[in-house]
Amino acid sequence: MFPQSSSPENHVAYPMNIGEAAHAAGVTAKMIRHYESLGLIAEASRTDAGYRQYTARDVTVLRFIRQSRSLGFAIRQIEQLLGLWADTQRESRDVKALAREHIADLDRKMAEMAQMKAALETMASACHGDQRADCPILRTLSSDAAAAMPIPKRAEKQPRADRTRRNDATPPTHGGLMAWMHGLGSPGAIGHA
C-alpha cells in the first residue's frame, strides 16, 4: 500500500513494540496511539499478551506523518497526503495543489503574525517601562479600539462561561485589526505616561 522507506535499516528488527516504533519514527508512544485513534495509521496488531506490534511500513507512515506535521500540515491535509501517497495512480498535480494551498495558508498566518507583532511593538514603544503605574499597553488593551482585535482561535474554543464578553455583537475581523492598528498611529491613540 504505502512505499517502503528508501533507507535500509538492517540493524532494526520488526515487528517493534510501541516504544521502539516511537523511537524509530521520532514520535512519542502517545502520538502513535493518537494517530491510531484518528485513523491516520492502521490499528497495530497485538501479541498474545496484548502488546502492540509495528511493522516497517507502520514506522515509515509514522515518519511521513511526523515530517508532514513538522511542515505545519493539518491532520485533514495529512489524511489527504497519505491518500495520495498510497495511490499509485495519483497525479503529482494533486499533491502540488495541496502543497500550494498550505503555502498560501502559511503566508496568511505569517502576515497576521507580522501585523500582531507591529501592533505590539507600537504599544511597547509607547510604554516607559519604569516605576510609573500608568501603562499605555494596558490602557490600549482595555480601550474600545482593542475590541476590534481578533480573538485567538484558542479563546474561541473555550467553554462559553470562560469567554470574555464583548460589548458589541460584531465578530473580530482581520479588517478590525487593521483599523485598530491605524488608530494606533493617530495622535493621542497611545498616551505616554
pLDDT digits 0-9 by tens, 29-52: 999 999 999 999 999 999 999 999
Mean pLDDT over residues 184-192, rounded? 47
Q: State the Cα–Cα distance between residues 34 and 40, nearest whole angstrom.
A: 9
* Average pLDDT over the chain, rounded to an integer: 80
Q: Which of 35, 102, 88, 33 is nearest to 64 (CA)?
A: 35
132-150 pLDDT per residue, tens? 899 989 998 998 765 556 5
- Within a 10 A sphere around the Cβ of 98, how many other Cβ atoms? 15
**pLDDT(84) > 50:** yes
Contact 107, 121 (CB under 8 A): no
Cα 11 versus chain centre, distance: 35
Q: State the Cα–Cα distance between residues 55 and 64, nearest whole angstrom.
A: 14
Q: State the Cα–Cα distance between residues 102 and 95, nearest whole angstrom.
A: 11
Q: State the Cα–Cα distance between residues 157 and 19, nearest whole angstrom.
A: 33
At 96, list the grid cell. Answer: 502540488
48-82 pLDDT per residue, tens? 999 999 999 999 999 999 999 999 999 999 999 99
Q: State the Cα–Cα distance between residues 134 and 57, nearest whole angstrom.
A: 61
12-31 pLDDT per residue, tens? 789 999 999 999 999 999 99
115-137 pLDDT per residue, tens? 999 999 999 999 999 998 999 89
Residue 88 pLDDT class (50, 70, 90 cuts): very high
Burial 155-165 (b: 16+ CB within 10 A, else e): eeeeeeeeeee
Contact 138, 127 (CB under 8 A): no
111 vs 187, higher pLDDT: 111
- Rg of the chain in Å (alpha carbons): 24
The whole-number pLDDT of residue 2 equals 63
The SS3 assignment for 13 reads coil
